[in-house]
Structure 1
């Protein structure tokens, strides 16, 4: 693959009829994708029973002025590990730029900054991530698992979680009801 074919900064959507029920109607921000594999953060499903202040309390961080937002189910890998997808107006030592779409931080610094009202202007917290080994995502895409949408910032930060899957399809100009849930060979 060439660098242009990697999916960092794009939004990965589960196709209708996704073969893995853990990813049904999944919306993943692709943070890293290269010859070694891929890492995405799920933003389409809320982690039930967990809110942002619960996470801060668990880490002994005073919630301060932070809103008590829902936390996303970021993916099945390391479900106890937290990530913040955020606008690029804040950055810490371990912040990773996500190809013009947003930034990713996983340090305590970003949590403290949000609690103190000094963090990024837009942010989403997720627990866990979706990971693929070298070539694994490409193979899944060939077998009708995923669609790589452009990185739509308005979907990421301005659309409620339950609407992100459909909003991304709409932003791409596609009605998912018209897509087949099976593939074939010509």
Structure 2
């Protein structure tokens, strides 16, 4: 009698590309996993600069940059999906504070079949591809911004709505952030299969690597969390 292996949850983990992964975008990449459920996974590549800075982005949006020290902050290529859309990974801003006594609760509304799909739609990104990550969890916790996903167990949020950038434009908003264009996703069982094929190493994420380490050093620093250096691994060797 065989027993199925329990599902793994790599939320708030790094995926570190093995040397044998030769894809132009994912080769030597570090992916931060924002959500991983039995239905799939959602993540951001965090070490591939796009050539655009935060100052460039705010200029294009015709917004002042209220944090001038962030003008040269590089924006990453987050993945091959929705590459025209910005994704902002930042410190959890806490729960929204009501400005007036709450109104009576409205009638219950059926939960969308795909919580991630609902999140993307709220952000104006449209529904994800059928193979994208999705889950059937209860309604997500409320957030300060219009379209945010709280990353479980991390103290971080992923926001796609413009309001986080508008807050930064007046010097408010999160104290740390990482911005990407696009995101990455895996369908049901796809990430697990790639890990079994030795495409990725996995390790619990260190936010300092996201926010404090220059992009060019993030691959080596993520490897170091496992006590490894890239030269120690030959293509096809090792196990995630």
Structure 2 unmatched runs, 5+: 95-143
* 1:47-62 superposed matches below 5 A: 47-48=50-51, 50-62=52-64
CA contact (8 A) 1:19 1:145 kept: no
Rg bigger for which structure? 2
Query: Which residue of structure 2 lines up, in the alignment, with residue 87 of structure 1?
Result: 91
CA contact (8 A) 2:151 2:157 kept: yes
Query: Which residue of structure 1 lines up, in the alignment, with residue 98 of structure 2?
Result: none
Bigger strand fraction: 1
Query: Which residue of structure 1 lines up, in the alignment, with residue 27 of structure 2?
Result: 24
* 1:122-137 superposed matches below 5 A: 122-137=176-191
Query: Which residue of structure 1 lines up, in the alignment, with residue 200 of structure 2?
Result: 146
Partners of 2:183 and 2:171 in 1: CA distance: 26
Q: Secondary structure at the match of 1:23?
A: coil
Q: Secondary structure at the match of 1:54?
A: helix
CA contact (8 A) 1:37 1:134 kept: yes
- TM-score for both structures, normalised by structure 2: 0.70
Partners of 2:27 and 2:204 in 1: CA distance: 19
1:100 positional shift: 2.7
* 1:101-180 superposed matches below 5 A: 101=154, 102-180=156-234
CA contact (8 A) 2:65 2:171 kept: no
CA contact (8 A) 1:75 1:128 kept: yes
Structure 1 unmatched runs, 5+: none
Bigger helix fraction: 1
Partners of 1:149 and 1:179 in 2: CA distance: 16
Partners of 1:86 and 1:166 in 2: CA distance: 22
Partners of 1:65 and 1:121 in 2: CA distance: 10
The partner residue of 1:97 within 150, 155, 159 is: 150
